[in-house]
């Protein structure tokens, strides 16, 4: 009977870590190809306040900013910084698996953001 309180306390202590492991908040990287065919690594950071930032080339500067909302397994994003996607809404299905986010296009009128192969899921890995 003494093990039951221990198990309950262990669960309550570990539960926040399990939930936070599934949070979108944080930085995520993905591999891409530049328009001139070179390999590049990019980083997307989701903040708690509903803001996202993109660091193209992972050079320490954010080239794109926007806002996001989550509803169930869908994320809606809108770029707020100057550029070809400013004010354009994109909707993607999203699944967090371990340390990866897998997104698939639902709708997005911004070609640079959805890419040349919109039927292929995008996979991002959590930056440690």
**Helices marked H in the chain — which ranges?**
3-21, 111-114
pLDDT of residue 12: 38
The pTM for the full model equals 0.80
pLDDT of residue 34: 81
Q: Could you tell me the residue ranges of all domains in the chain? A: 25-126
Q: What is the dihedral of CA 97, 99, 102, 108, to 10 degrees?
A: 130
Per CATH, the homologous superfamily of domain 25-126 is Uncharacterised protein PF14869 family, DUF4488 (2.40.128.490)
- pLDDT profile of the chain (128 residues), mean per 10: 40 40 89 87 97 96 97 97 97 95 96 86 93
- The closest alpha carbon to 66, from 54, 78, 82, 55, belongs to 78
């Amino acid at each position: 009977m003494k093990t039951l309180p221990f198990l309950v306390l262990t669960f309550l202590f570990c539960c926040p870590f399990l939930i936070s492991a599934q949070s979108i908040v944080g930085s995520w990287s993905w591999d891409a190809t530049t328009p001139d065919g070179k390999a590049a690594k990019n980083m997307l950071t989701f903040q708690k306040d509903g803001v996202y930032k993109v660091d193209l080339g992972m050079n320490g500067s954010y080239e794109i900013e926007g806002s996001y909302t989550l509803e169930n397994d869908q994320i809606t994003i809108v770029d707020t910084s100057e550029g070809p996607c400013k004010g354009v809404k994109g909707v993607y299905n999203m699944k967090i698996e371990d340390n990866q986010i897998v997104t698939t296009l639902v709708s997005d009128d911004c070609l640079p953001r959805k890419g040349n192969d919109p039927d292929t899921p995008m996979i991002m890995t959590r930056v440690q």
